[in-house]
Amino acid sequence: MMSTKHNREQSVTDKPFHSGFVSIIGRPNVGKSTLMNRILGEKIVITSDKPQTTRNRIQGICNVPGGQIVFVDTPGIHSPHSRLNRYMVDTAIASLQGVDAVLLLVEAKDKPPAQRAMIEELTGKADAPVLLVINKIDTVPPEELLATIAAYGAMHPFREIVPVSAFTGDGVDRLVQLVHGTLPEGPAYFPDDILTDLPERFVVAEIIREKVFRLTRDEVPYAVAVLVDSFKERDDGSLVSISATIHVERDSQKGIVIGRRGDMLKRIGTQSRHEIERLLGCKVFLELFVKVQKDWSENPRLLREFGYE
């Protein structure tokens, strides 16, 4: 598990300790992963300007005075067109059960009537208090935001309606306080120096996949899965050697990921290595390979091998 020193400082008091799990859910690209990273003060979830970047259920641990909040980032709710996409949507819907609160994200520019069907469906499946989070408030004027808040308030009896900007951080501390106030008394589920329960190999694979998402276009990002084949650390901790394979579905995609004279693969590797070094706090030797796994997103065996289903 990854540890950190960036979580909100926790003080020891005689007051009851409140803790719980909180699902973050919404359509693609509303800022769920950006919000998670902002809350934690560290990047643990990959982001891009393309929808459906997040594919897995990812937990981030936030320690606050008198409590611990385990946020659960989820894939965006969308119409699935492949077995992989169905897995992603099922993962998101399943996160509405067994949690202590739900953050339902919408964008400030969204028109409330257009969100009604999604809101009714998701709130109907939630078995915990739902807080509506209106994200990207930095993109609309204040009077428009006030009208939007009123429209959503008339649509459903949310526990709270919280305007935030995950990009600037505006309103995020208040959101964390409100979430903490909804949680029951309970134990700390993780040590207070743990940022996420994800293994380092998973985070490394996600960083590489993020660079593919950011550097390639069209269908290529969605056809990529990344597996870390080896992860070896020197005894003195000064160097980590990583070998990873980028899996694509067609030969043409392999050519794009490798690029002319290997230029694209070098860019992916260089950007990935820099971020992995910052994450691990040591030098990294990163070796990348590209392999074609035809139509892996529809193959149950390969989906399991790549960590889906």
Residue range 274-297: mean pLDDT, rounded: 96
Give the residue from 192, 205, 284 showing the smallest Cα distance to 240. Answer: 284
Tell me the one-letter amino acid at 93.
Answer: I
Per residue in 156-215, pLDDT (tens digit) is 999 999 999 999 999 999 999 999 999 999 999 999 889 999 999 999 999 999 999 999
Q: Taking the model in full, what pTM does it have?
A: 0.89
pLDDT recorded at residue 80: 87
Give the mean pLDDT of 6-33: 81
Residues 6+ apart with CB under 8 A from 94: 57
Retrieve residue 68's tokens. Answer: 């611990």
Residue 14 above 80 pLDDT? no
The total of other beta-carbon atoms located within 10 Å of residue 239's CB is 13
Q: In the prediction, which pLDDT does 11 show?
A: 46
Is pLDDT above 50 for 294? yes
10 pLDDT above the threshold of 70: no
Burial category of 141 from C-beta neighbours within 10 Å (exposed 0-12, middle 13-18, buried 19 and up)? exposed
pLDDT of residue 51: 87
Tokens at 179, concatenated: 């979430």
Q: Which domains does the chain have, with CATH numbers?
A: 2-194 (3.40.50.300), 199-305 (3.30.300.20)
Q: Using one digit for the tens of pLDDT, what is the confidence trace for 70-109?
A: 999 999 999 888 999 999 999 999 999 999 999 999 999 9
Looking at every residue in the chain, the average pLDDT score rounds to: 93
Q: Are 244 and 264 in contact (CB under 8 A)?
A: no
- Relative to beta strand 67-73, strand 58-64 is antiparallel
Looking at residue 166, its pLDDT comes to 97
Query: Is the alpha carbon torsion for 197, 291, 216, 27 positive or negative?
Result: negative
The bridge status of strand 225-233 relative to strand 67-73 is unpaired
Average pLDDT over residues 234-244: 94
Q: How many CB atoms lie within 10 A of CB 165?
A: 20
> What's 151's DSSP letter?
H
Can you give the pLDDT at residue 164? 98
The pLDDT, as a whole number, for residue 2 is 58
In one-letter notation, the amino acid at residue 54 is T
pLDDT at 301 over 50: yes
Say what the pLDDT of residue 6 is: 47
Task: Give 3-state DSSP helix, strand, coil % of the chain, rounded to 5.
Answer: 40, 25, 35
Confidence (pLDDT) at 237: 84
Q: Say yes or no to pLDDT of 8 above 80.
A: no
β-partners of residue 248 are 292
The encoded tokens of residue 177 equal: 């306080």
Instruction: Summarize the confidence of residues 126-143 as an average pLDDT.
Output: 97
What is the model's pLDDT at position 5? 44
134: pLDDT strictly greater than 50: yes
Cα gap 217→200, rounded to integer Å: 27
pLDDT at 112 over 80: yes
* Distances 219 to 7, 92, 133 between C-alpha atoms, Å: 36, 22, 30
Tell me the two tokens of residue 244. 């990873």
Confidence band for 7, pLDDT divided at 50, 70 and 90? low
Cα 27 to Cα 52, 54, 155, 177: the distances in Å are 9, 11, 18, 24
Structure tokens at 75: 């894939």
